[in-house]
Amino acid sequence: MTMHATTADDIPVVGSRDASPAHDRADDTLDQARLMDHAYDGIREYDNPLPGWWNLIFAATFVFAFLYFAYYNIAGWGKTPAEKYQIALAGWQAGYRGGPGGGGPSVTEEMLAAGVQNPDVVARGAEVFTSRCIGCHAADGRGQIGPNLTDLYQIHGTTRLDLYGTILGGAPGTAMIAWGEVMKPAEIIAVATYVSSLRGKNLSGKEPQGKPVSPLAP
Question: If you average pLDDT over residues 165-181, what whole number do you get?
Answer: 89
Measured in degrees and rounded to the nearest 5, phi and psi for residue 38 equal: -65, 130
Apex CA 96: angle with CA 93 and CA 102, to 5°? 115
Q: What is the pTM (predicted TM-score) of this model?
A: 0.56
Q: Are strands 43-46 and 35-40 parallel, antiparallel or unpaired?
A: antiparallel
What 3-state class would DSSP assign to 106? coil
**pLDDT value of residue 41:** 76
- What band does 7 get if pLDDT is binned at 50, 70 and 90? very low
Contact 35, 26 (CB under 8 A): no
Residue pLDDT, tens place only, 87-124: 776 666 665 544 444 445 578 888 888 889 889 989 99
Q: Domains for the chain: give ranges and CATH numbers.
A: 21-78 (no CATH), 81-212 (1.10.760.10)
Instruction: Note the Cα 25 to chain centre separation in Å.
Output: 61
